[in-house]
Structure 1
């Protein structure tokens, strides 16, 4: 799989993380975009989405417009965003609305979609940077599995008249590729942290956002109000909506068994298991310090283009609290998933030990691990050694003013519950 623009450095060392030196391209992008104020009027965004979708039924049976208003108010209330980010978040809302409109229309036209079974999925549940991406891409190498590639996560439902072009390329894929190429030009280090090339397997929580009910917005903007609003929602309704989107995708692009993953599931295990009662779940566990330092370093780096200023203290406080909440919920609810249908994978056991873990997972799921699939797994592992884009040097103390040990003391409850090793 080609990862265009990969960085072949051994170490990526941020000496300008908190006071960035922008490249000429980055400066030009910001100068150009800052001149134009981006407006978040809901009516304007909805009109655009309706025009793109060619239909106007939003399926507002369960307060969708209220969630839309809260979502937009949260973005508009973050006064530190650059117009560049406001513009991309506005496009994101329009895109979500357009996909929701197209989905509503598709379900009306093909009511049989509602009876498609989403049976026996594998679901990977764990923090970002805890091996979830590695594991889900690996399991997706099983040709019997249906996964969600990034290009499809962004535009799950084709707009009317948007079939593949003459060479069979889906225009949704072409757009994702063009976007990725542009990102590589403006912020290449992103690849080493989380390379969202079009074929990379993405999180279905992106699909949940067609219902504007997920935690995704927290990764794009500073929206504590949205976090509190999201945490107050009855997620059983929204996970049921997620299942509808999965049914539609199965209908559109092939009936196979799903492999799913998202960190959000850590704090939504009840709704997750209620929605997918016959799922087999792989929980991944890693030192929370490694997770937090990776997340906030990535955020701080992205913020040179996303925000008017970088606030390392805010990032540390918000994300250590956020990870604390996710892991507390995971510890509290872990036993909602039965031992017969789940495994726990410690990060320090993952690297180089994937095959036995996959055997265990497949055994719990009652799925045969054939010789062909084993070969596919081995090929994937050979092609994707850890850190192939270069390793990132983290420096919590220098950038965020806290030591790893100090941060780790907040997570004793997690080390007590799972086999996690301090890194």
Structure 2
């Protein structure tokens, strides 16, 4: 029955021309009333390119057409609403953001686990999934619980479409969320290429100026802190920051950076498996070989970017911490304590207890339940290992 419904849906996509009808940039900009807000962050060119790639390269299925349209409209409407708030409440843009901590490094290396642990400290401000997807209420007096519930429904729907998703990437509405969801609002984000095969957009993104994305990122944090009413220490996370460290350093000259490191071949297998799961609901066919090639190329570049930042001392040494996945998962509390010591931050006894309780619920960091094989994605381990040799030697992974 599922196969029959999928075939009927794909027939509708083909005969009705849904990608061309649903994903026209001018129509979506007009509907969301977001042209001015998008232009403020040089977002129109990447927005148009992304939608063109959706129409021409992504092989969207029936669900994929609707999901891409919903996502684009949601991002545009959020952007327009944030702009209106800045106009009516100019104090938002005067909100200071001081000494944020960024967690980055190779993906699947413990970044999510560490982010969750640091979120247990009430002095750490970690943007939650629900507020990155729905940053403002529809009506001023709507409680946050409405947006939290809406995010829960979105995640439940995605879990039905992509069984096993939460087994490899545990998340709920109130979990800390990656920065790629923030920068997606101005359409300069690597998160689009994880869920879709869009090679020209990815090539453009790799060569793009990411200063506009980080300008918006900072504005987004100002909105969150203005809503909170008191300053806290932002703790942010995204592996994709490794590709844009120069723009990050320019936007946040006082940032502190945590790099997480893991055996790159374990990383590639895990990322390829997650990418296949994330693409499956939206496309007529997630090509494993193409996924493997993209993942390998991307994270070779990512490892090289980390080495370059390390060699060039892009950030002052006392504001950088390098951690390894194996140490984080084997001795999480000791590893976390080393971060607080490194950055001269107080780790209070009650915070330590909260973290220890969370660790007890996530043995070995919550990792290890799902395994993926490199060969399933056309990645030759023997050929790939030497290409990561410099990275592996420098960071002892």
85-94 or 137-146, which deviates more:
85-94
Corresponding residue number in structure 1 for 2:64 = 85
Deviation at 1:405, TM superposition (A): 3.2
Alignment of 1:238-277 (within 5 A): 238-255=213-230, 256-277=232-253
1:308 counterpart (274, 281, 284): 284
Corresponding residue number in structure 1 for 2:100 = 121
Instruction: Report whether the alignment pairs 1:285 with 2:261.
Output: yes
> In 2 relative to 1, CA 162–185 (structure 1 residues): closer, same or farther, beyond 3 Å?
farther
Instruction: Report whether the alignment pairs 1:47 with 2:23.
Output: no
Alignment of 1:331-410 (within 5 A): 331-334=307-310, 335-386=313-364, 388=366, 391-397=369-375, 399-410=376-387
Deviations 1:229-269 (A, max 9, x none): 22232222321221011101111234321110111111211
Deviations 1:76-111 (A, max 9, x none): 221422131122122111111001101111111111
SS at match of 1:351: helix
Higher share of residues assigned helix: 2
Deviation at 1:390, TM superposition (A): 6.8
SS at match of 2:235: strand
For 1:380 and 1:247, locate their aligned partners in 2 and report how far apart those are by CA, in whole Å.
29
Corresponding residue number in structure 2 for 1:3 = none
Deviations 1:291-315 (A, max 9, x none): 1111112222344432222322211
33-42 or 117-126, which deviates more:
33-42
For 2:144 and 2:6, locate their aligned partners in 1 and report how far apart those are by CA, in whole Å.
29
Contact 2:99-2:254 within 8 A present in 1 as well: yes
Residue-pair matches, total = 388
> In 2 relative to 1, CA 34–193 (structure 1 residues): closer, same or farther, beyond 3 Å?
farther
> In 2 relative to 1, CA 111–324 (structure 1 residues): closer, same or farther, beyond 3 Å?
same
56-65 or 280-289, which deviates more:
56-65
> In 2 relative to 1, CA 309–249 (structure 1 residues): closer, same or farther, beyond 3 Å?
same
Instruction: Report whether the alignment pairs 1:136 with 2:115.
Output: yes
1:417 counterpart (385, 394, 397): 394
Contact 1:40-1:76 within 8 A present in 2 as well: yes
Deviation at 1:34, TM superposition (A): 5.5
> In 2 relative to 1, CA 341–63 (structure 1 residues): closer, same or farther, beyond 3 Å?
closer
Deviation at 1:414, TM superposition (A): 1.0
For 1:88 and 1:247, locate their aligned partners in 2 and report how far apart those are by CA, in whole Å.
29
2:50 counterpart (67, 71, 80): 71
387-396 or 188-197, which deviates more:
387-396
For 1:158 and 1:137, locate their aligned partners in 2 and report how far apart those are by CA, in whole Å.
25
SS at match of 2:52: helix
Corresponding residue number in structure 2 for 1:299 = 275
Instruction: Report whether the alignment pairs 1:194 with 2:172.
Output: no
204-213 or 317-326, which deviates more:
204-213
Could you say what the CA RMSD is over the residues aligned between the two structures, in angstroms? 2.2
191-200 or 94-103, which deviates more:
191-200
For 1:324 and 1:392, locate their aligned partners in 2 and report how far apart those are by CA, in whole Å.
23
For 2:283 and 2:209, locate their aligned partners in 1 and report how far apart those are by CA, in whole Å.
32
> In 2 relative to 1, CA 66–403 (structure 1 residues): closer, same or farther, beyond 3 Å?
closer
For 2:140 and 2:9, locate their aligned partners in 1 and report how far apart those are by CA, in whole Å.
31
For 1:239 and 1:200, locate their aligned partners in 2 and report how far apart those are by CA, in whole Å.
22
SS at match of 1:336: coil
SS at match of 1:244: helix
> In 2 relative to 1, CA 246–27 (structure 1 residues): closer, same or farther, beyond 3 Å?
farther
Corresponding residue number in structure 2 for 1:205 = 180
Contact 1:102-1:158 within 8 A present in 2 as well: no
Task: Calculate the TM-score normalised by the size of structure 1.
Answer: 0.85
For 1:365 and 1:62, locate their aligned partners in 2 and report how far apart those are by CA, in whole Å.
32
Contact 2:41-2:215 within 8 A present in 1 as well: no
SS at match of 2:382: helix
Deviation at 1:74, TM superposition (A): 2.1
Deviation at 1:117, TM superposition (A): 1.2
Contact 1:132-1:284 within 8 A present in 2 as well: yes
Contact 2:261-2:323 within 8 A present in 1 as well: yes
300-309 or 329-338, which deviates more:
300-309
Corresponding residue number in structure 2 for 1:155 = 134
1:224 counterpart (199, 208, 219): 199
- Name stretches of at least 5 consecutive residues in structure 1 with no aligned partner: 1-23
For 2:3 and 2:309, locate their aligned partners in 1 and report how far apart those are by CA, in whole Å.
44
Deviation at 1:401, TM superposition (A): 4.0
1:96 counterpart (37, 55, 75): 75
